Amino acid sequence: MAAPRLALISKKIIKPSSPTPLSHRIQKLSLFDQLNPCSYMSLALFYPKQCNSTLPFEPSHISTLLENSLSRALTSYYPLAGTIRDGLHVECNDVGAEFLEAQIDCPMSEIFKHGSAEAEDLVFPAGVPWTPSKENLVVAQLNRFKCGGIAISACVSHKIVDGSSMGDFITHWSAMARNPCSPVPSFQFVGGSIFPPTSGHIAEAILNSKTRGNHHCITRKYLFSRSKINSLKAMIATELRTQSSNNIDPTSVEAASSFVYKCIASNSPRPSVFTQSVNLRPVMKKMLPQEFQGNASFLFMAPQIEDPKEIKLHRLISELRKEKEMYFSQDWREPKDLVSAMFEKVMSLQNQLERDDEDVDVYKCTSLSKFRFCDMDYGWGSPRRVCLGSVPINKKIMLMDNQNGDGLEVLVSLKEEDMSALETNSELLQFASPSLGL
């Protein structure tokens, strides 16, 4: 079958249903917001045609439902309807979100017949995911397939949200679609006052170092079933017993991410560093209101490994845990103390990232596991599949729960020659399989 084609039907600007109060007009960014790019994070939810839904599935109804509910959601999540004014502020000026509608000339199942993320990218607004923008901080697209199914994709500015906050926003949007009278959470965007931003030139240097060495990349998806993850954990435990007296029980994310890193790094003769983005909300829970929204994640890194053949999974996991424990074990009572510690970490992180693609390979891992994207119900039940799309960041590893919640889906983004080596890696294929089909 020929490659699926998309025809754009409409493009609108959706404004908040109520204007943002003048008192909320200027939103100060936090340190954690500041250290993230203005690019869009992306998520797509696939819903097959419903024959027994309590809500109509006609095209005009779906469009109206999504537009109206998005408008209401933006009223509560007002920074996403604004404009990034500079490196320190968001102007909550109700510019609104873009909402596109498109027709795809194939059944939904067709685009899942390949193991790449590129086919699935068709459901995202063209050229939007992971590109920088300072206005229209939400771009959403409703896609209709020939089979009658739909896909709802959302691209949301990483400058305003991380994975956790993006999940909160889409959950709120879907709740508004199911029931316009749903309770409205008291979202609070107070990160800028609790964790003040640092000077602009330092933040800019860090952002530049984060994308250092990016190339045209290929993204592939691999599925780790629950049984394979358990086997992987058992392998790590055996490795540990033969080389150490310490005990370690790796989480599923630790086991899968460190294993994928090892499989990739083993194809390179250069030293490597493994970094992992970690949700800091447990560390900051005494400082943050319950409905806090914004970025609250940070990169932690394991020590550099000189020889790829010397990568030991139990040691890698232990080293990363030690790194995180330095922050998670302390009883942080004052935001300024945590900011001071994080700022020191920022500087060392910048120095390490700047070396990427010069004399060391830096692998960046992000986990979106446990954020329950699979539960996003707009009125037609849970999505059949959730996709993140391809990631144009070299040496990037992303994880999320699979559709049944009993395994992990791992996205890997690499240069073409590195991906070719990974795709034939017998050790990887012993535990993971290309993610195909609905």
What's the pLDDT tens digit per position in 387-397?
987 888 899 99
Q: Transcribe 194-219 into DSSP letters.
A: HS----HHHHHHHHHHHTTT--SEEE
The residues near 99 (Cβ < 8 Å, ≥ 6 apart) are: 11, 12, 13, 14, 66, 67, 70, 140, 141, 142
Among 194, 222, 246, the domain boundary falls at: 194
Mean pLDDT across the chain: 87
What's the pLDDT tens digit per position in 247-285?
778 999 999 999 999 999 998 889 999 999 999 898 888
Task: Specify the pLDDT at position 62.
Answer: 92
Q: Is residue 384 part of a domain?
A: no
Mean pLDDT computed over 181-206 = 82
Q: Are residues 126 and 268 in the same domain?
A: no
Q: Are residues 89 and 104 in the same domain?
A: yes
Q: Are residues 223 and 157 in the same domain?
A: no
Task: Specify the pLDDT at position 227.
Answer: 96
Q: Are residues 53 and 168 in the same domain?
A: yes
Task: Specify the pLDDT at position 356.
Answer: 75
Query: Measured in Å, how far apart are the chain's first and last C-alpha atoms?
Result: 18
Residue 1 predicted with pLDDT over 60:
no
Question: Which residue carries 């049984």 as its tokens?
Answer: 227
Q: Are residues 87 and 120 in the same domain?
A: yes
Residue 243 predicted with pLDDT over 70:
no
Residue 214 predicted with pLDDT over 70:
no
At 292, the pLDDT band (50, 70, 90 cuts) reads very high
Which amino acid, one-letter code, is at 132?
P
Among 159, 194, 229, the domain boundary falls at: 194
Name all contacts of 331-334 with Cβ < 8 Å and 24+ positions apart: 331/286, 332/283, 332/284, 332/286, 332/287, 333/286
Q: Are residues 76 and 219 in the same domain?
A: no
| CA atoms of 221 and 7, how far apart (whole Å) | 26
Between 65-79, 192-206, 315-329, the lowest mean confidence (pLDDT) is in: 192-206
CA distances from 174 to 60, 137, 216, 246, 420 (A): 17, 18, 34, 46, 39
- Of the chain, the percentage scoring pLDDT greater than 90 comes to 53
CB 31 within 8 A of CB 197: yes
Q: Which three-class secondary structure state does DSSP give residue 2?
A: coil
2 or 238, which is more confident? 238
Q: Are residues 240 and 94 in the same domain?
A: no
Between 12-21, 364-373, 385-394, 412-421, the lowest mean confidence (pLDDT) is in: 385-394
Q: Is residue 380 part of a domain?
A: no
| CA atoms of 402 and 44, how far apart (whole Å) | 14
Q: Name the pTM for this structure.
A: 0.92
The pair of structure tokens assigned to 201 is 């030139």
CA distances from 259 to 44, 187, 412 (A): 27, 37, 12
Mean pLDDT computed over 420-434 = 94
Name the burial class of residue 133, with classes exposed (0-12), middle (13-18) and buried (19+) by CB atoms within 10 angstroms of its CB.
Answer: middle
CA distances from 266 to 170, 280, 319 (A): 38, 30, 19
What's the pLDDT tens digit per position in 125-162?
988 887 888 889 999 999 999 988 999 999 999 999 99
Task: Specify the pLDDT at position 245.
Answer: 55
Mean pLDDT computed over 181-186 = 88
Task: Specify the pLDDT at position 329.
Answer: 80
Neighbours of 261 (CB within 10 A): 27
CB 66 within 8 A of CB 72: no
Q: Residue 114 is part of a domain; what is its CATH number?
A: 3.30.559.10
At 197, the pLDDT band (50, 70, 90 cuts) reads confident
Report the side by side order of strands in the sheet with 26-28.
26-28, 89-91, 83-84
Number of domains in the chain: 2
327 or 425, which is more confident? 425
Helix (H) or strand (E) holding 43: strand 40-47
Q: Are residues 141 and 273 in the same domain?
A: no
Give the domain range for residue 61: 6-194
214 or 371, which is more confident? 371
Which amino acid, one-letter code, is at 324?
K
Task: Specify the pLDDT at position 55.
Answer: 56
Q: Is residue 379 part of a domain?
A: no
Task: Specify the pLDDT at position 246.
Answer: 64
Nearest partner of 274 among 353, 388, 213, 345, judged by Cα: 353
Among 194, 217, 238, the domain boundary falls at: 194
Helix (H) or strand (E) holding 61: helix 59-76
Task: Specify the pLDDT at position 217.
Answer: 87
Residue 422 predicted with pLDDT over 60:
yes
Q: Are residues 174 and 246 in the same domain?
A: no
The pair of structure tokens assigned to 190 is 């107070």
| CA atoms of 242 and 219, how far apart (whole Å) | 35
Q: Are residues 182 and 250 in the same domain?
A: no
Q: Are residues 212 and 300 in the same domain?
A: yes
Looking from the CA of 337 toward its CB, the CA atoms found within 13 Å total 10
Q: Are residues 292 and 430 in the same domain?
A: yes
Helix (H) or strand (E) holding 297: strand 297-301
Residue 207 predicted with pLDDT over 90:
no
Nearest partner of 435 among 411, 418, 404, 419, judged by Cα: 411
Q: Is residue 383 part of a domain?
A: no
| CA atoms of 431 and 228, how far apart (whole Å) | 5
The pair of structure tokens assigned to 29 is 């960014």
Neighbours of 364 (CB within 10 A): 23
Helix (H) or strand (E) holding 365: strand 361-367
315 or 390, which is more confident? 315
Q: Is residue 11 part of a domain?
A: yes
Which residues are designated catalytic? Answer: 158, 377
Neighbours of 18 (CB within 10 A): 13
Q: Is residue 62 part of a domain?
A: yes
| CA atoms of 232 and 313, how far apart (whole Å) | 10
What's the pLDDT tens digit per position in 318-364?
999 988 888 888 887 788 888 788 777 777 777 777 777 778 999 99
Between 22-31, 248-257, 288-297, 388-397, the lowest mean confidence (pLDDT) is in: 388-397
Q: How many helices (H) and strands (E) does the chain have?
A: 12, 16
Q: Is residue 335 part of a domain?
A: yes
* Angle separating helix axes 200-210 and 335-353, nearest 10 degrees: 50
Mean pLDDT computed over 397-401 = 95
Q: Is residue 225 part of a domain?
A: yes
